[in-house]
Amino acid sequence: MPGSCSQLIAALVEVLGERGVLHRPEELMLYEYDGSSLDQALPQIVTVPATTDEVAAVVRITVAHGRPVVARGAGTGLSGGSVAESGGVVISLARMNTIIAIDPHNRTAVVQAGAVNLTLSEQAADYGLHFAPDPSSQRSCTIGGNAATNAGGPYCLKYGVMTNHVLAATVVLSDGSIAHLGSLAPDEPGYDLLGVMVGNEGTLGIITEVTVRLLPISEDVQTFLAIYDDLDQASASVSAIIAAGIIPTAMEMLAGRGIAAVEESVHAGYPADARAVLLIEIDGLREELKTWARLIVEICRRMGAREVQVANDPAQRARLWAGRKGALAACARIAPRYHIQDGVVPRSRLPEALRFTETVADRYDLTIVNIFHAGDGNLHPLLLFDLRTPGILERAVAASEEILRMCVDVGGTISGEHGIGIEKRAYLHWMFTADDLAAFRQLRTVFDPTGLLNPTKLIPLHESYAKTSFAQSVGQTTMLDRLM
d(CA 162, CA 164): 5
Tens of pLDDT, residue by residue over 434-460, are 999 999 999 999 999 999 999 999 988
d(CA 396, CA 155): 29
pLDDT at site 470: 61
**Which among 398, 407, 339 has a CA at the least distance from the CA of 368?**
339
Tens of pLDDT, residue by residue over 74-121, are 999 999 999 999 999 999 999 999 999 999 999 999 999 999 999 999
Do the beta carbons of residue 63 and residue 175 sit within 8 Å?
A: yes
Do the beta carbons of residue 259 and residue 274 sit within 8 Å?
A: yes
Q: Please name each of the domains of the chain with its CATH number.
A: 5-92 (3.30.43.10), 104-216 (3.30.465.10), 220-329 (3.30.70.2190), 335-409 (3.30.70.2740), 425-473 (no CATH)
Strands (E), 301-344: 307-310, 337-340
Tens of pLDDT, residue by residue over 351-360, are 999 999 999 9
What would the mean pLDDT of 29-39 be, rounded to a whole number?
88
Give strand pairing partners of 108: 103, 213
Do the beta carbons of residue 376 and residue 252 sit within 8 Å?
A: no
- Can you spell out the DSSP letters for 202-221? TSS-EEEEEEEE-EEPPSEE
Tens of pLDDT, residue by residue over 310-365, are 998 999 999 999 999 999 899 999 999 999 999 999 999 999 999 999 999 999 99
CA distances from 48 to 91, 114, 253, 269, 433 (A): 6, 11, 38, 42, 39
pLDDT at site 473: 61
Q: What is the pTM of this model?
A: 0.93
CA distances from 390 to 2, 285, 385, 386 (A): 40, 55, 11, 9
φ, ψ of residue 141 to 5 degrees: the values are -70, 155
**Which among 243, 224, 240 has a CA at the least distance from the CA of 232?**
240
